[in-house]
Amino acid sequence: MPVVRYPEILADLRAKILDGTHPVGEPLPHTSVLKETYGVGAHVITRAMKELKEEGLIWRVANRGMIVQRPATSIEIPLAIERRDEPTEWASACRRAGATGRLTPQPARAEAATEEVARDLHLAPNAAIITWDQHGDIDGQLVCLDRTYVSAELHEAGDFDIERSAARLTLRLQTSPASIEEASKLRVSHGSLLIDITRITHDSVGQPIQLLRRLLNPQRVHVSDRRLPLTSP
């Protein structure tokens, strides 16, 4: 006898994802197939899919459909922490959640500052900056996209230690819709809300010396609001 009620359909689909009936990395059956299987209208299947997406068990991929994901493992990381300590804190947070993960820096590159970056770092328009990305994963799944900016002049001053010069942080925490590229990397739906953190490090006289922009998948990462002074684990 087919399952006919929404809570039972949702529970049945969830159970089949968790027990491997619907394998990780493979698409769920098409809506038309699920309608026939459960004997319900498309709106019931659509509602169940929405719930499973919010639980992080599926994500939409263009031309493939709803792709099954591993159950979400979530970690908690602080907003304010010394940069050098972040890889250790990330790995520790993953271990506390029974998972493995790391922050992986990408090669630095030189470019001209955008209007927004120049404003945040008190630089002239199109000033030369150095920027680099950093990717955070949990059990191999990308959940964090970082981009850090520093003026090229400051970066080239080899005797200048940004960490030791840090005296104050400015933190901005908001949500922003995932772009197509961000959605693909973080395995979320295009337009779904991401945690969007802007963190500006200032020196002792208040001059901005480093800008971090961090995007997080909120199904996988939570943040704790540890403000000044800078904290280490």
Number of neighbouring beta carbons within 10 Å of residue 163: 12
Partners of residue 129 on adjacent β-strands: 111, 151
What is the band of 131 on the pLDDT scale with cuts at 50, 70, 90?
very high
Characterize the bridge pairing of strands 141-151 and 193-202: unpaired
Is residue 231 over pLDDT 70? no
Domains of the chain: 6-68 (1.10.10.10), 75-224 (3.40.1410.10)
Residue 158 confidence (pLDDT):
63
Residue-wise pLDDT for 135-148, tens only, equals 999 988 899 999 99
Q: Which residues contact 220 (CB under 8 A, 6 or more apart)?
A: 56, 72, 73, 74, 75, 138, 141, 143
Is residue 22 over pLDDT 90? yes
Alpha carbon separation from 125 to 117, 119, 128 (Å, rounded): 9, 8, 9
Residue 233 confidence (pLDDT):
33
Is residue 76 over pLDDT 70? yes
129: which 2 tokens?
A: 């900056």
Residue 165 confidence (pLDDT):
73
Can you give the pTM of this predicted structure? 0.77
Strand, coil or helix: 163: helix
Tell me how far apart the alpha carbons of residues 198 and 218 are, in angstroms, rounded to a whole number. 16
Residue 124 confidence (pLDDT):
95
Is residue 228 over pLDDT 70? no
Please compute the mean of the pLDDT values over residues 112-122 and round it to a whole number: 96
Over its C-alpha atoms, the chain yields an Rg (Å, rounded) of 21
What is the band of 225 on the pLDDT scale with cuts at 50, 70, 90?
low
Number of neighbouring beta carbons within 10 Å of residue 177: 13
Please compute the mean of the pLDDT values over residues 197-205 and round it to a whole number: 90
